[in-house]
Structure 1
């Protein structure tokens, strides 16, 4: 190619003269070289030429190279072409450049080099080999472009993107953008993580919609369409299900992107708020529980505050009497509400609660004394979300305490130890003691702090111990007065032994003792005796054995002796590996108010149990004896006359009184209603079975994977997981567990319910209320036909089905008479609580809650024979479903409950008088 500037000169030369032609060529080449050098020097990119010698010396650099590097040409010529690298230079890139040069092939790299003054800069380098006419490499030419500014921008963008990605991951916030023209969706990595999808192509909007439950699809569509129509942004919280089926809560924020006056794109954020939503719902539920509890408990006030000391809940039945306006207080800060001296006393304790410390003080407010607890509120994660102030008015209790102290001082000056007075006062003490124990048991069902639970458990245990003492004193007074009547009825010794064994197993386990029973297979299934008194004697003996045994165990045996004689006997022995008894101690062991020793440090009772047991054995035609040596344990033996019931052949091992039924079945009861739990528990215990109770299907599935059961009594309708789903999951476990028989418990007797239960994998069906004979038949492989029940209309129904209630009463009395009082107190509490909840729900217009509560009350009432209450609850349930007026039906239900409780109380009174 001939440059334009050389063309006129060429036309002037005479090329016929060789010398002239040579001169002309030299001149042309010189001009061409000057032209090329000028062009190269004017380039903004650095140019470097290196000779193809082994050390690749530099032979030329242009002006731009010198400007970029700060070196003069004479400082560069002759040096190695890679002399600009330094400590930060990527050696892998240098190696690739060297390999390309050695192979005489072009190479492109981005490299960190260093200027003459030591400052680093980024170069985009392109190196190519230069070949002669024979194809030999004679040199290398490189182009160097300073891309430092570009690299810094790229690094800043990468760091910003990394920061945004990290922040989004920590906050669980994803970002998204939808191009409305191309319908192309772009997601951040966290969007895929929240959806539990692999990173790739995001789903389309229509597909993404199905990650939400169908009932909220319209909310998503409305927000989307409103934004497209009006440009309105959205910010909504929605339930959500991931690709792996995990239930979550998300917060979706979206806004339009305008271009040329039109919405071209939508973009927004997407945040997983499951934890905060659960905390919010839990806090709301907690506040509601505290509010209801405070309103129900007289003399109790509750203040709940957040981490900023702002009151979120003020509740209590006595607020108005104390002049506290809950509506005005809620939302206020404690620092603004408290005046001196309250501020200096309470605020430090509130701050301690926010640090995780609990406090308890007696606090005087407006002349009244409050037992005040200030404690932290912890979330499931362990994070403290606020604090709680619970004040219980103990002014009257303090007065009572003072009065009791004065009474004690007066009593110490007089002697009132006469037997008649002791017997009378024992009767009077039983009722309040039963109330104390029942109240403690009910309190233990609430959400409590460990300290509260420990205190209430102490109250319950102490109350039961005191009640046992009162009962013993009463029994002793009856025995000494000759007023004890011994029953003569069919008695299942096996069932009694197993029931007592199960009753004390937990206590034995807590002491690390082994407790077992061995029963003679020749023992008749039923004998004539007094089952209640036999159970009482055996409980006294086992209780003593465990109390005085620290290592080893306790063995209960039941056998037949003297079968070949005219007077066969049943011998029940309780052997222990405890401290043993000397001959001198045995001489007065069965005398009232005597102990084995008088060491006050030993755990012991009043010394009545053995005396009562010995006298009961005598009244039943037998005797109680003791054998043993100090340090070798003791054996207490009850010997009673053996009188079989009609023809009752011996039961072989593994069989019990119910034909075909196992001696002791391991029964799991899945039932959410507390009254129903207690009723079924008592009925099963009356049949001599081992019983475990859970409150819902989730717990049932977990329990069968932890231990084996023979039978599960499964309530069909329960919270969290119903009985049908629980059955399906248990059957799905297959051979991983010992598959039990599963029997449905339900208030429904409809054919479709039965079919659903059987389809789920259940084996049987029991309709509430559960009758004792029906339960025995269901658990037996050879059931005895029961009489068909009749169904009356609402008008002809009695208030109470005394057949159902009588069976329950009999089962309770057979175990322990005091359980009747506790159970009736529990029924009264449960009915009143459900009435209060119904009243609140009706006032709020929450018909769905009314429907649920009425259904639950209906099941409870049927289980205990409260027919009128069950029908009234059923009518209220149907009215709520049909959105009818509820107040008249609620009044009828309230009247039915009042009448039922009255009749129950009269029945209990008659029962006490009979005893």
Structure 2
């Protein structure tokens, strides 16, 4: 029950509460109605007011819109939170965005990121501090991604103390910012440059206050302050304060005042300091739009440069003085041969003042026309960067000529480019005159030498010819079994003839040695056999005299050696003959000793010691001099005084030495040492054995061509003695006739004969169809001169015998040629004469160049054939075109290649071609020289090819 009562009371309470809530809702509804009525009335009133003011507002907004659109700057509004609420159309022109693309976006979206925080703080401070207007600039992104700089003025729009919005007028200042940045960069660079410049710099304004100064300026003038502390200081008294630092203080102050007054640029002014330093000063006034705004001082310590320049100047003066004293004339020319500078000595040499020469073409002014080619060739070499030296004539101002040696060298600039040349001229006119006089003297001397040579040849012929007959007849008379008295007379006759023969031989030998015409012939010989033969000859000669001749030979000397045995034999005969002449009794010792060995070369020492009268010490130096005798008045033995002089030169000609030791009344010892090479070659016969006639010679037939009746008798007597058939022709013409009539095995041909001499006869026999075109021809000549020997070979003779000759010499020659040629008993058919081709290769020259290196020789020869030889084809074309300069250059280039492969004769002819083309070009003469070269070049090429094959095998 109690529970029911509780439930009833609860229901009652809920009913009352609901009734109260309904009453309240009715009351609220009434109030809301009343408020709505009031709002309706207010809206009606507001609508009326809006209608009345709308026209005015639209008119104002239109004027405002026109104003905004006419402005060329960007105008925008942003809310206090930073969002765009308005932007004028100019933004599209400046940034590329339309208004719709901007409005509603936050302003930071357009700002370059690194500037966003800075700009937000700027606006935040402006709003918080209630600043009405401020200016700021910053970079923004344009729509195309480019960056533009904006400079803007911002104003706050407030209402009742609250910021409603921000209005900004912004301008594109991109170009201005770029210009200012460039200006700041330039200023920074300039300031950095001046500060770090290795010269002292001071910049003052128009009132002489310091704007800029670097530390080096402070150091130069010992200013104890840092450079930055000097900015703004007045410098009007600085000259007075620092003048004590200069060697001429007052002049320093005066000069500064003068420069400041004149306000003109001055550079490289030299200042001498009291402490010995040298400064170089520049003064540069600064003007802006015509107004003086200050100046710049620049100081540099150039002490080292100054001292170096002074050293160079003094050196130039010294060497200029030296060159003037050395009589050297210098000029400098450009690439067009235009004179740039002429030194004093050159002007004096040529008779001009320097101002007369500057700008002139040197070759046109000084060079004679005949030297134009020489100059052009040298100039082309100099343009290639090489120095030249040559001799030419030059024309002086007065028209006279001088000879000069010109040494030219190219002048190069700092980049290594040739810009001209310098010529050093040395006057050699006096030397040239002396050369002409010497040439004339040489010509006279040459004529005298030729006269002497002709005299010796004539003497040789005129004296030797009868002497030959005398000696020959003496030999024949000995065979007639003379009685004792006749034998004595014949012996005296033979001794006198032999003595006369010795005198003539010595004179001719000395003449040949002095003319350099003695040839060292190297061939294998038996050295021991030669020594024993020499001993036997003198033993026979000394048979009835109280003199013993001993020979001692080193046991190590054996076998054959390569050398000139004939020359060695003459040396031994001269020295032993000299010992025999001055030794009355006692001994003569001949000693041969092996001195040393060097590979295949052996040095053998020969000593000839006698117990004769000896030589006084003060006379020892005379014995090797020509025509000198130790005691010409007091000794019974006479002579020319040439024997030992000839002997010494023959020893030295073979690379040996000859010495003498002697004691008066005790004897003399001659010692000479000669080099020989060991040889394995076999020697067919001993030339030192006296040969007799042989019966097999009876089958041969000889032609003797001799005009002298005594010589005819002498030769015919010998041939009859040996039972050799012969025919005599009295001159060259008769010899040619006999050559057509019958076949001969040997022709003995005299040289000097009437009607036709031996040379002409030999040429005729060799070059005409006859029975003896190939027959050996041996010259019989009274001349022993080398050029005569060469001439006999040139015309086709096979050998020669010098008159007077011994029977053994004649028989040896006859037997030698008969061994080489089979005996002819029947005439032979006509044949063309054999071509005598002498080798064009100079083997000694090749050996000098390459030694025994065969691979090197082959390489050089093959290189010549492949690389150099084809260029010879250009010569004929150059001769046809008469291009003498190119011809001379080609000859100069190819000339050495001929010498390198041993074609020395052609090398010499090529030199003639070069010289003639350069100095005196004549087409006919040059063609003749070239033809002579081509004639031999083909044969020379074949010889080279054969030599290559031989060396390779």
TM-score over 0.5 for the pair: no
- TM-score of the pair, normalised by structure 2: 0.31
Greater Rg over alpha carbons, structure = 2
